[in-house]
Structure 1
């Protein structure tokens, strides 16, 4: 596929999508927005892709919205209001992806509808809109040089694109208010302590270890199990316990009847590597 502001690189069953404006610390543009959505759509259709890494080219993940874009929004407030609502369609969920609630079909909230695990590999500065995109990844690993900031309050902005919901879900109410109101910079060790990231990795080993983890997901785990579990977890965020249990009960017969269940038992008994089909 031809992209101008991202890289789309397949290595066996692992796809790496890299935001690719390194001189601008991968500042977010409308072109990048469209291309990331197109890349996630292509990855969803491609059965050979079983795990996705989202990262940034160069020394940063994403420095937030490109300042030229912000400047344009400030110049024409009324037109900006219209642009914010119409740049991407209201239903932005991935075609052929998981059937989740409308919460996951908004402009930036669609990563959960991708039926494959998305690892956010935060390799450096992660700010503003870049932080929003990182939060919608299924899990986040940080290099020891990563720095996080919500940034919005220091630009006179508000908690945008659902970060006011997603951030407290990950780090708790008080930590979320701290990060949003102060917009202070948080290094990787504090981010991990809060629960914002799951793992810190030395910069020199960072991408190798991220790829190793993604490779393990892609080769050792049932794609069907991951697909169903991902839908369960994001649905459960809006359910009570009883509803989550009933959802699990409804999914169990299909798992017992699946090819992946048969392969899961067979490879364990035969002490060999699995060969899951995803069905």
Structure 2
């Protein structure tokens, strides 16, 4: 099944009991727009409702998993338009909850760079498989964007010290360090990432579904309040940031440099 349209930005295929959902903007490193995220939410919900699907693999087309937000979409946000920045954050809230609400196991096939909100999205998967050359991190601060939901996504995996480092420096780490830090569960050869993720998802799909769903439900309970708090804080902090015009200026500078 695929989304129909002039540009199919998210694709859903099946590998037996596994739904493979692929972000499909390889020329943009799978950086996403609001429309793309809404399509992804729908596909995640469909996979959750399909009794033939036992697990879900999340991946990206080409050489990236997801480079995060397409800055071309957010660079023009009016500094005084709090409704626009709130709606942007609400979109990520819906996306993150669509992953967390799945009672079925999820595996991220991190085939390349996973940055910013794309990095956060990967961390929401139950398991993550990547390769030595993939890069992961939280570079929002480099574009003048505060990392608020990023702190929430990293905290339980990295702890305070490493979360602070990632949020403030914006650095990306390669696969071996990502595995050592717990950002990846396993490393495989570059060309084997998707196959390994599908194989892992098939193993998970064969587990007793009731026990899996109840276990995931408890894990979700532990995260729900923290996510709600992060979203509330993100709206307040992002409104303050965009009111200064700094994110818009930094994103415009980045886009000008990329156009050269």
Look up the match of 2:66: 62
Shift of 1:85: 2.1
Provide the rounded CA distance (Å) in 1 between the counterparts of 2:224 and 2:144.
31
Gaps of 5+ in 1: 93-104, 240-279
> Cα RMSD between the aligned structures?
1.9
Task: Measure the CA separation in 2 of the matches of 1:44 and 1:126.
Answer: 24
Cα offset for 1:22? 0.5
Alignment of 1:155-234 (within 5 A): 155-160=143-148, 162-219=149-206, 221-234=207-220
The alpha carbon displacement at 1:166 in A equals: 2.3
TM-score, normalisation: structure 1: 0.74
Q: Is the 8 A contact 2:59 2:108 kept in 1?
A: yes
Distance 2:125 2:31 in 1: 18
The aligned counterpart of 2:135 is: 147
Shift of 1:40: 0.7
Partner of 2:258: none
* CA deviation map 1:92-122 (0-9, x unaligned): 8xxxxxxxxxxxx933431111111111111
C-alpha separation in 1, matches of 2:61 and 2:16:
20
Post-superposition shift, 1:209?
Answer: 1.1
Question: How many equivalent residue pairs?
Answer: 220
Which residue number in structure 2 is paired with residue 14 of structure 1? 18
The SS at the match of 1:106 is helix
Q: Confirm or deny: 8 A CA contact 1:171 1:195 kept in the other structure.
A: yes
Aligned pairs (5 A) from 1:97-112? 106-110=93-97, 111-112=99-100
Q: Secondary structure at the match of 1:172?
A: helix
Find the aligned partners of 1:187 and 1:233 in 2 and give their Cα distance.
28
TM normalised by structure 2 equals 0.79
Other-structure match for 1:83: 84
Deviation at 1:237, TM superposition (A): 5.0
Give the structure with the larger helix fraction. 2
Q: Greater CA radius of gyration, 1 or 2?
A: 1
